[in-house]
Amino acid sequence: MLFQTKIEALRVILLALVSTLLVVTTARAHEVQPTIADLTINPSEIEVVLDWVLEAPIAGLDLEGVEDTNAAEGAEDYDVLRSLDSAALETAFREAWPSISQGLSLRAGEVDLPFEITGLTIPEAGNVELARNSQVVLSAPLPEGDSAIVMSWAAEYGPLVVRQQGIENGYTAFLTSGGDTDPIPRTGSDTQTGGQAFVEYIGVGFDHIIPLGLDHILFVLGLFFLALRMGPLLWQISAFTLAHTVTLALGSLGIIKISPEIVEPLIAASIVYVGVENVLSRGLTPWRPFVVFGFGLLHGLGFASVLSDFGLGGAHFVPKLIGFNVGVEIGQIAVIAAAFVTLGILFGRNTWWRQRIASPVSIGIAVIATFWVFERTGIIDPEGAFAPFAMLTEGGFAPLWTVIVVSALAAALTALVLVASGLDALRDAAGIITSFTAFLGVIATFTSGAWVLTAALMAVWILALRLQSLGGPDADKVPA
β-pairing, 179-180 vs 149-153, is antiparallel
List, edge to edge, every strand of the sheet that includes 111-112.
Answer: 111-112, 104-108, 149-153, 179-180
Distance from C-alpha of 178 to C-alpha of 400, rounded to nearest angstrom = 28
- Cβ–Cβ < 8 Å for 470, 418: yes
Asked if residue 89 belongs to a domain, the reply is yes
Instruction: Please choose, from the candidates 192, 158, 191, 190, the residue with its C-alpha nearest in 3D space to the C-alpha of residue 175.
Output: 158
Distance from C-alpha of 223 to C-alpha of 243, rounded to nearest angstrom = 15
Enter the DSSP assignment of 344.
I
Tens-binned pLDDT, residue by residue, of the chain (480 aa): 444 444 444 443 343 333 333 333 333 435 777 888 989 888 889 999 999 999 999 999 888 877 777 667 777 888 888 888 999 999 999 999 999 999 999 998 888 999 999 999 999 876 666 678 899 999 999 988 888 899 999 999 988 888 888 776 678 788 888 889 888 887 755 566 778 878 888 888 888 888 888 999 999 999 899 878 777 788 888 888 888 888 888 887 778 888 878 888 899 999 999 999 999 987 777 888 888 899 889 888 888 877 766 655 556 778 888 888 899 889 999 999 999 999 999 999 898 999 999 999 999 999 999 999 998 888 887 777 888 888 898 888 899 999 999 999 999 999 999 888 777 889 999 999 999 999 999 999 998 888 999 999 999 999 999 999 887 665 444 444
Distance from C-alpha of 387 to C-alpha of 396, rounded to nearest angstrom = 9
Q: Are residues 102 and 21 in the same domain?
A: no
Distance from C-alpha of 79 to C-alpha of 270, rounded to nearest angstrom = 30
CA distances from 441 to 344, 364, 401 (A): 19, 11, 10
Enter the DSSP assignment of 355.
I
Distance from C-alpha of 383 to C-alpha of 116, rounded to nearest angstrom = 37
pTM to 2 decimal places? 0.72
Q: Give the domain range for residue 384.
A: 2-27+207-396
Asked if residue 365 belongs to a domain, the reply is yes
| Cα four-point dihedral sign 238, 241, 243, 245 | negative
Cα 228 to chain centroid, rounded = 25
- Cβ–Cβ < 8 Å for 67, 211: yes
Q: Are residues 227 and 366 in the same domain?
A: yes
Listed residues 187, 222, 250: the one ending a domain: 187
Listed residues 157, 187, 217: the one ending a domain: 187
Asked if residue 454 belongs to a domain, the reply is no
Number of domains the chain contains:
2
Distance from C-alpha of 154 to C-alpha of 100, rounded to nearest angstrom = 10
Distance from C-alpha of 40 to C-alpha of 47, rounded to nearest angstrom = 5
Question: 159 preceded by cis ω (within 30°)?
Answer: no
Asked if residue 171 belongs to a domain, the reply is yes
Listed residues 396, 414, 448: the one ending a domain: 396
Q: Are residues 378 and 297 in the same domain?
A: yes
